[in-house]
Amino acid sequence: MIRNLQILFVAISFLVYQPLAYGAEEAEGGQHQKGEAGHSAEGSEAREVHLTPEQRELLSVQTVTVPRGRADNIVTAPAEVHYVPDRVAEVGPLLQGKLTRLAVDLGDQVEKGQLLATLNSVELARIRSRLNSLKARKEAATAEYQREKQLRSESFTSEEEFLDAKAAYLEITAEYDSIREQLEVFGSDSSGADSSLAQYALRSPIQGRIERMDARLGQTLSSSDTPFTVADTSVVWVMLQVAETDIGRVSVGDEVQVFSKSVADRFHTGEVSWISNELDEETRTITVRVVLESPNGDLRPNTYAKARVMTQSAASLPLVPHDAVQTIDDESVVFVPGNEGGAYKAVPVTLGKEANDWIEIKSGISANTEVVSVGAFDLMSAITASGRSAAHGH
């Protein structure tokens, strides 16, 4: 009942326009066909619906780019969403310490190098103390070496004394540099001059979002602990498990549409980027990878999805989702965005085969056209309701 009232509200408020030249192309040749549906009857109206932003939100209108393929040659496969390996990091200290401060919370966006937590580490304090001691000894050894070098050049000291000073200088320098490099590996300031010798700053190695935080104040963390997970999920891998009998029809570059189970009425589009050569002996499937952008984060890693591979053939045609096709005055139509925001035009099309929830389009629109995939029924209902209202008004 509520849905019907929403459609009626839109029908009362939208405008119906006279025919506008759309320039529908043939799917195969891109040429106009005379006598095709939508062009055979003189005076048939191409209706255009104008929706306000509020009406668009009310009807949840969504569009999709029309791919090419054959409806009966689509490969379907279960899939799972994964993190991209270089866009996720398990973060923990490289030496033991007690957690004294948490600088972030779950869901926080962090930059590379941003502070996550602070620890107190006895081991770090010992290393820094050792470095400070070596620094003083290095300065003394450097001065002694330079003095002996000058004296040797003037023949005021023996070769043995000069070589002893040089050896002591090189030994202290090597040990100092080793300790300093060790601190750099720990991601720690060499001297700890800006903090206590024991303070350890745990920082994020990548830009991303805090997805896991298994940490509490006072907790002792070891070098094997990784209490933080930082991840960038704007790009994800979707791993398909394609049946052994179907893998021969799948190629790198094929278009893939991935449906997340959490958002069933919308899909993400990408391409096959890799096909494994290895067959899983238990499931008799082969892994296929698709790299997808997910700027809204609705493709969640470790969740399951459904994928459709639009395999290519020489006789491929434009394909639209089943729900995109509607009937107005006994004509099959799809809705395409108009020239203005919120405008949608009903374009007559000639249908081909239907399979796997997709319909081939023989003429009326071409591949790569934007068509309404969600909300087409509501637009059709609004047009027909408005037409009935106009008829009663005469």
Which one of 312, 340, 359 terminates a domain? Answer: 312
Extract the tokens encoding 100: 């004294």
199 phi, psi to nearest 5 deg: -75, 130
Residue 188 is predicted with a pLDDT of 65
Residue 325 is predicted with a pLDDT of 96
The partner residues of 304 in beta bridges, in order of sequence, read: 80
Residue 186 is predicted with a pLDDT of 82
Both 79 and 102 in a single domain? no
Which helix (DSSP H) or strand (DSSP E) does residue 71 occupy? Answer: none
Domain count, the chain: 3
Q: Helix H segments across 20-65? A: 53-59
Q: Hunting for tokens 């000058």 — which residue is that?
A: 150
Residue 357 is predicted with a pLDDT of 84
Both 201 and 289 in a single domain? no
Question: Do the strands 350-355 and 358-363 form a parallel or antiparallel pair, or are they unpaired?
Answer: antiparallel
Residue 30 belongs to domain with CATH number: 2.40.420.20
Both 76 and 123 in a single domain? no
User: For each of the chain's 394 residues, which pLDDT tens digit applies?
Assistant: 445 545 445 544 544 443 333 333 333 444 444 344 444 333 344 488 888 888 877 877 888 888 888 877 889 999 999 999 999 999 999 999 999 999 999 999 999 999 999 999 999 999 999 999 999 999 999 999 999 888 988 888 888 998 999 999 999 999 999 989 888 888 766 545 556 889 999 999 999 999 999 999 999 999 999 999 999 999 999 999 999 999 998 999 998 989 887 766 678 889 999 999 999 999 999 999 999 998 888 889 999 999 999 887 656 889 999 999 999 989 999 999 998 888 999 999 999 988 878 899 999 999 889 999 988 999 998 888 766 555 555 5
- Give the closest residue to 319 by CA, choosing from 79, 36, 72, 60: 72
Domain ranges, residue 107: 88-230
SS3 243: strand
Both 25 and 103 in a single domain? no
Both 92 and 226 in a single domain? yes
Both 225 and 237 in a single domain? no
Report the greatest alpha carbon distance in the chain. Answer: 122
DSSP state, 41? S
What string of H, E and C letters represents the secondary structure of 75-118?
EEEEEEEEECHHHEEEECCCCCEEEEEECCCCCCEECCCCEEEE
Both 165 and 108 in a single domain? yes
Both 137 and 266 in a single domain? no
The answer to whether residues 294 and 233 touch, using CB atoms and an 8 Å cutoff, is: yes
Residue 139 belongs to domain with CATH number: 2.40.50.100
Both 210 and 276 in a single domain? no
User: What whole-number distance in Å separates Cα of residue 124 and Cα of residue 198?
Assistant: 6
pTM: 0.64
Residues 6+ apart with CB under 8 A from 367: 27, 66, 67, 68, 318
The answer to whether residues 361 and 351 touch, using CB atoms and an 8 Å cutoff, is: yes
Extract the tokens encoding 198: 């024991």
Both 384 and 265 in a single domain? no
The length of the chain in residues reads 394
Residue 245 belongs to domain with CATH number: 2.40.30.170
Both 115 and 169 in a single domain? yes
Which one of 284, 312, 340 terminates a domain? Answer: 312
Both 264 and 393 in a single domain? no
Count the Cβ atoms, other than its own, within 10 Å of residue 130: 14
